[in-house]
Homo-oligomer: A and B are copies of this chain.
Amino acid sequence: MSVSIKDIAKRVNRSITTVSRALNGYDDVSPETKQLVLETAKEMGYSPNTFAQRLQKQQSDTIGLILPTFSPRFSDPYFSELLAGIGNMAADLGFDLLVSTRSPGSEEKEAYEKLIEGRRVDGFIVVRTRKQDQRIDYLRSQDFPFVAFGRTDDCSQFSYVDEDGYFGMRLVAEYIANLKHERIACILPPAGLAFSEKRLAGLRDGLGEFNISLDESYIKEGDLTQKSGYQIGSELLDLPEKPTAIIACNDLMAFGVMSAAQDRNLVVGEDISVTGFDDIPMSEYSHPPLTTVHQPVYQIGGMVCEMLVKIIQDEIDDPQQVLLQPNLEIRQSCGLMKEKVN
């Protein structure tokens, strides 16, 4: 059927060992033979059988990525970009990327176990870390290579890349405080997620510097979808004393909030200020363009992937930890506090 190393060997009158070694650049094969082998290989259209290689080498050259999704429908632009970042870097490094989506829970754990048991992947990228993360506990207990995008409550012992959400939120807080807002609401991600409390703390501390306190009744929890932003936004805006600024913990929820505000004939950026987090591509072209904290997700995907490959290839032993400093992307969704809003 397709050419194998054997066919080449026959053609050049050498052993398969020699052919293999020539192909792999060993130096115990003469330059002439090497060239001959390389040429005939090309001529015959040889390309190695990946599975034979993997079987022999006992490694899969594959990275696993299990996306946690709440509904089967999964359409967060944020993850798409991350995926592209990871995937392209993986391809560059000669690795395959094995993707599946699972909702958090037992099914998810099974997915990890299966991939490990079947030795199908050499390492995992764990995304959207939780404060107590069973996936990470499991991987650590198995001593299986992985890199996390995000931290956990106890993350001293593994490699991760994360953005400094605390700092990011302080930037937001400072900006909003300078706009003289005082009744400030916040829509958090689900409480179990690691970045939830970090962002809240950043916001609290940031506002604290301006002696503004965050009213508990203005703190809500969403599920990071636009729908949830819309619903919670509606609740907040229907309050007798509604907030003058709403800080959403991701862009999608911020969009939902903007829709809810606009449904109530409020002008976003004037009557009400809204901020997001992530800076997905759409944020620049929403109406109004969204003020948000920028995360270079595509690059982060690449970094995480590269780090994992290094770990797999034993070029790294100590955990690597990267914390990126974000910046605030100021656009038009916020404005000076107006008295007339009540």
Q: Which residues of A contact B (CB under 8 A)?
A: 2, 45, 47-52, 54-55, 60, 67, 69, 72-81, 83-85, 87-88, 90-91, 96-101, 111, 114, 117-120, 225-227, 229-230, 252, 255-256, 258-259, 262-263, 280-282, 284-289, 298
Contact residues in B for A48 (Cβ distance below 8 Å) = 118
> How many protomers of this protein does the assembly include?
2
Contact residues in B for A229 (Cβ distance below 8 Å) = 285
A263→B286 CA distance, assembly (Å): 10
Contact residues in B for A225 (Cβ distance below 8 Å) = 281
Given A287-B259, A287-B263: A49 touches B118 (CB 8 Å cut-off): yes
- Tell me how far the C-beta of A84 lies from the nearest C-beta in chain B, rounded to whole angstroms: 4
Q: Is the CB of A226 within 8 A of B51?
A: no
Which of B78, B111, B120 has a CB less than 8 Å from the CB of A75? B78
**Can you list 27 A-B contacts with CB-CB less than 8 angstroms, sorted by A residue number?**
A2-B117, A45-B117, A49-B118, A51-B54, A51-B55, A72-B298, A73-B81, A73-B84, A73-B281, A73-B298, A75-B84, A75-B281, A75-B282, A76-B80, A83-B83, A88-B100, A88-B101, A90-B100, A96-B98, A96-B120, A226-B281, A226-B282, A229-B285, A255-B285, A259-B285, A259-B286, A259-B287
A118→B131 CA distance, assembly (Å): 41
Contact residues in B for A60 (Cβ distance below 8 Å) = 51
A101→B81 CA distance, assembly (Å): 11
Question: Which B residue's beta carbon lies closest to that of A116?
Answer: B47
Contact residues in B for A282 (Cβ distance below 8 Å) = 75, 226, 252, 255
Contact residues in B for A252 (Cβ distance below 8 Å) = 282
Question: Which B residue's beta carbon lies closest to that of A284?
Answer: B227
Contact residues in B for A83 (Cβ distance below 8 Å) = 74, 83, 99
Contact residues in B for A280 (Cβ distance below 8 Å) = 75
Q: Is the CB of B98 within 8 A of A69?
A: no
9 closest Cβ contacts across the A-B interface?
A75-B77, A259-B287, A262-B287, A47-B117, A74-B84, A51-B55, A230-B285, A51-B54, A75-B80
Q: Is the CB of B88 within 8 A of A80?
A: no
Question: Which B residue's beta carbon lies closest to that of A55?
Answer: B51
- Tell me how far the C-beta of A107 lies from the nearest C-beta in chain B, rounded to whole angstroms: 10
Q: Is the CB of B72 within 8 A of A84?
A: yes
Contact residues in B for A67 (Cβ distance below 8 Å) = 84
Contact residues in B for A98 (Cβ distance below 8 Å) = 96-98
Question: Which B residue's beta carbon lies closest to that of A283?
Answer: B226
A49→B285 CA distance, assembly (Å): 49
